[in-house]
Chain A
Amino acid sequence: MSSYIELSYWHLAATSVFVFIDAALSVLFGLRVHRSLLFAAIRMVVQLALVGVVLTTLFSVISPLWTGLAALVMVLFAGHEAAQRQERRLSGWWSYGLGTGCMMMSSVVATVFALLIALQPNPWYDPRYAIPLLGMILGNCMTGVGLGLNTLTTSLVSRRPGVEAQLMLGASRQVATAPVTRDALRSALMPVINSMAATGVVSLPGMMTGQILGGVPPVEAVKYQILVMFLIAGGTGLGAVTAVLGGVYRLTDARHRLRLDRLSAPKAS
């Protein structure tokens, strides 16, 4: 096997002292976040432990059915997260369905592309490659789709007079919503662009660091990281464009009216 240092549970437990320091600071300064901080830490440990068990099982069976099922569960969770982040949601099934559908399509396209063309594991659906790749793409795709839809809905509400003014003058719904659509897409893509620009200078990506700690030569780890960045950019772009255009389609109608009645009331925060 490769040259990595195995962690003992005692060492892990020792490191958790930092979380307790944070909690103590919260008590000291009256931040009142110690409860949620500790809860989040426990939640993380439990979730990751479960993932460890699930991945071990998945990797040992290498079944297309179980890999697909795991992927589906990941997409559904991502869809739920993206919907939760919306200040105003689309009404009915669109709220959950649009984001989830777009993320499923785009992250699966990017992952399958990487598996069939770049990595070519045998079999191609080997969960050891498919699941981590999908996870990384999906995580970023979720941020992009969530931001894009949130910008779209909030700016359609705040810039409604301008959009309707164009409609009143006989513009089509595509033309009238174009400025808002552009803003939504820009904000969806901004995190990916920023992270690509900062990678290697400001931040060392977790995946690459992980591979290096696991004994992979840095140049090989870097190659993987570049691959993943490209896939993330592609998956996020594709997901955000389809989600935002789908949102525009839903919030206008065939008579070229603006249909903000298809949005729910703003979330109380």
Chain B
Amino acid sequence: MRPLLSVRDLQTNLLKPASFSLSAGECIVIRGPSGGGKTLLLRAIADLDPNEGEVRLDGRDRATMSGPEWRRLVGYLPAEPGWWADTVGEHFTDWTAALAVARELGFPTDATDWPIARLSTGERLRLALVRTLMVGPKVLLLDEPTASLDPASARAVETLIAAGVRAGLAVLWVTHDVQQAERVAVRRLVVSGGQVQEELSECPAISS
């Protein structure tokens, strides 16, 4: 099967050349020490920092697309999402459409009027996830999306992502939570000291 996202020799001034690929409907967990380069890797894939190397989506070279076009297909959710207006609704082009997803994460209809300044960290993370999903990406880059969520909310997020993965979404998921890593993914990447390596499981399968 041809991979959906293929990364070859992706590097920045801090990140050593990284190569891996991700299929449609697959979730890979990324782990590694803080400051090891996990966020840098996601930012480089989303083309938010200057980088070199070849990244392809569905066989199409990233260099043939504009930055905005690429980022609509490869959605990145940072650990601390940013906001540019005062209320929740102003960050969505179509709140009515977004509501279907927002409800699953526990937001009521009138959340559109909520001021951003009063949102908790967890609410911000979940709303930013909704915002990212509404763009309709084929690949999702998640940077600790459940780090500051209570267990119930974290479950809701996992369920939502899992539904997306079943529908063909490819996900790179940064997490420190070992149990979560086991729940959501089979393959793992370890990023440490700017080096990206695939972590082999204890009893590697010989067949391929």
A residues in contact (CB < 8 Å) with B: 159-172, 176, 179, 253-259, 261
The answer to whether residues A171 and B82 also contact, given A255-B47, A257-B48, A257-B49 and a CB cut-off of 8 A, is: no
Chain A residues lying within 8 Å of B85, measured Cβ to Cβ, are 179
Contact between chains at B72 and A169 (CB < 8 Å): yes
Q: State A14–B48 Cα separation when bound (angstroms).
A: 64
Chain A residues lying within 8 Å of B49, measured Cβ to Cβ, are 257
Contact between chains at A162 and B82 (CB < 8 Å): yes
10 intermolecular pairs with C-beta atoms under 8 Å apart? A160-B82, A164-B78, A167-B48, A168-B46, A168-B77, A168-B132, A169-B71, A169-B75, A256-B68, A257-B49
Chain B residues lying within 8 Å of A162, measured Cβ to Cβ, are 82-84
B42 CB to nearest A CB, Å = 10
Q: State A253–B68 Cα separation when bound (angstroms).
A: 12
Chain A residues lying within 8 Å of B75, measured Cβ to Cβ, are 168-169
Chain B residues lying within 8 Å of A167, measured Cβ to Cβ, are 48, 67-68, 71
Q: State A258–B47 Cα separation when bound (angstroms).
A: 10
Q: Is B50 an interface residue (CB 8 A)?
A: yes
Q: Mark B29-56, 1 if CB is under 8 A from A, else 0.
A: 0000000000000000011111000000
Chain A residues lying within 8 Å of B47, measured Cβ to Cβ, are 255, 257
Chain A residues lying within 8 Å of B67, measured Cβ to Cβ, are 167, 254-257
Chain A residue, CB-CB nearest to B48? A257
Q: State A168–B48 Cα separation when bound (angstroms).
A: 8
Chain B residue, CB-CB nearest to A165? B82
Chain A residues lying within 8 Å of B179, measured Cβ to Cβ, are none
B76 CB to nearest A CB, Å = 5
Chain B residues lying within 8 Å of A159, measured Cβ to Cβ, are 82, 84
CB-contact partner of B80 in A161, A168, A170, A259, under 8 A: A161
Q: Is B69 an interface residue (CB 8 A)?
A: yes
Contact between chains at A170 and B68 (CB < 8 Å): yes
CB-contact partner of B48 in A164, A171, A179, A254, under 8 A: A164
Chain B residues lying within 8 Å of A258, measured Cβ to Cβ, are 48
Q: State A166–B91 Cα separation when bound (angstroms).
A: 9
CB-contact partner of B71 in A161, A168, A261, under 8 A: A168
Q: State A163–B75 Cα separation when bound (angstroms).
A: 15
Contact between chains at A170 and B71 (CB < 8 Å): yes
CB-contact partner of A163 in B66, B84, B131, B135, under 8 A: B84
Chain B residues lying within 8 Å of A172, measured Cβ to Cβ, are 68
B65 CB to nearest A CB, Å = 10
Q: Is B89 an interface residue (CB 8 A)?
A: no
Q: State A163–B71 Cα separation when bound (angstroms).
A: 14
User: Max chain B CB contacts within 10 Å: which of A161, A170, A258?
Assistant: A170
B73 CB to nearest A CB, Å = 8
B92 CB to nearest A CB, Å = 10
Q: State A112–B162 Cα separation when bound (angstroms).
A: 67
Q: State A167–B71 Cα separation when bound (angstroms).
A: 8
Chain B residues lying within 8 Å of A161, measured Cβ to Cβ, are 78, 80-83
Chain B residues lying within 8 Å of A253, measured Cβ to Cβ, are 50
Chain A residue, CB-CB nearest to B134? A169
Q: State A103–B139 Cα separation when bound (angstroms).
A: 46
A5 CB to nearest B CB, Å = 59
User: Max chain B CB contacts within 10 Å: which of A171, A179, A253, A259?
Assistant: A171
Chain B residues lying within 8 Å of A257, measured Cβ to Cβ, are 47-50, 67
A102 CB to nearest B CB, Å = 26
